[in-house]
Amino acid sequence: MKRFKLTIAYDGAAYYGWQVQPRQVTVQQRVEESVQQLFPEVKRVHSSSRTDTGVHALGMVAHVDLPMDERPMDGPQLRRALNAFLPADIRVMKAVRAKADFHARFDAKGKQYHYRIWNGPAMNPLFNGRAWHVPVALDVPRMQAAAKLFVGNKDFKSFATTREYEMETTVRRVTKCEVRRRGPELGVLIAGEGFLYKMCRGIVGTLEQVGQGKLTQKDVRQIFRDRDRRVAGMNAPACGLTLVKVLY
């Protein structure tokens, strides 16, 4: 068996997230089906992380072990073969041989996400399904100042959706949180060593409330202290979020 590292991009609009789910169509399911067209005995493709329903990716990383003695091919050949069986909204962008002990999830050092907001009275139709339409005016300098409060090693319990199981810790280290504007398009860049369930969307939803003047920097500091999801902003819609890169 030879291990390959796959870098995968996808439009998540049609899928129930990355991870295989009963009675739902997911990105992982489609990728595994494409692998099984070439290697029927291979059952699992292991990813670096999960993405929620409707979330997109430019650089999801996964690994898979393949019996190359049966069908020898290099990385570019594997990429082309897998893409031939994948739907158009999922693409293997790169396939390379990896060390036998490489693990897409456990070797990951961090992730980078980008969230897009269209802040204009009318939605740009080219961004439908790719951005959150916020028609009311947003104070971007206030959002930029508040974004700095999310950087560091902090307890993000107030910004993450509760799982059905208890987390060992809700402390995470965010290395970057920036708001950038280009005309009516806003981009929120969030990078960190790891993220809680829907944490990025909770951060963006809170920053949007800051932009509307409904929350202040003082409020955000108190939200951290409260450790209560009910006091922070809403989860921003999934359509605006993209996993850009996994760092190793």
Residue 166 pLDDT level (bands cut at 50, 70, 90): low
Residue 164 pLDDT level (bands cut at 50, 70, 90): low
Mean pLDDT value of segment 139-168: 91
58 and 162 share one domain: no
Last residue of a domain, one of 97, 119, 149: 97
For residue 35, give the amino acid letter: V
Half-sphere exposure of 33 (CA within 13 A, CB side): 12
Predicted local confidence at residue 130, as pLDDT: 96
User: Phi then psi for 87, rounded to 5 degrees?
Assistant: -65, 160
Residue 11 is part of a domain; what is its CATH number? 3.30.70.580
Length of the chain as a residue count: 248
Residue 165 pLDDT level (bands cut at 50, 70, 90): low
To the query of whether residue 52 is one of the catalytic residues in this protein, the response is yes
Is residue 105 in some structural domain? no
Last residue of a domain, one of 97, 119, 141: 97
Nearest Cα to Cα of residue 189 among 151, 234, 239 = 151
150 and 236 share one domain: yes
Calculate the dihedral angle through the C-alpha atoms of 82, 88, 91, 93, rounding to the nearest 10 degrees: 110
Which domain range does residue 196 map to? Answer: 110-247
Is residue 139 in some structural domain? yes
pLDDT digits (tens, 9 = 90+) for 145-155: 999 999 999 99
43 and 127 share one domain: no
241 and 192 share one domain: yes
**Is pLDDT at 202 greater than 80 in this prediction?**
yes
124 and 212 share one domain: yes
For residue 208, give the amino acid letter: E
Above pLDDT 70, what percent of the chain? Answer: 99
Residue 224 is part of a domain; what is its CATH number? 3.30.70.660
84 and 18 share one domain: yes
Q: Tell me what the pLDDT averaged over the chain comes to.
A: 96
Residue 199 pLDDT level (bands cut at 50, 70, 90): very high
Predicted local confidence at residue 149, as pLDDT: 98
Q: Per the residue annotation, which of 11, 52, 219, 226 is the catalytic one? A: 52
For the chain, how many structural domains are there in total?
2
Is residue 102 in some structural domain? no
225 and 117 share one domain: yes
77 and 121 share one domain: no
* Structure-token pair, residue 99: 């060390």
116 and 229 share one domain: yes
140 and 75 share one domain: no
Q: Alpha-carbon distance 218 to 221, whole Å? A: 5
pLDDT digits (tens, 9 = 90+) for 60-109: 999 999 998 888 999 999 999 999 999 999 999 999 999 999 999 999 99
Predicted local confidence at residue 201, as pLDDT: 98
* Structure-token pair, residue 74: 């290099």
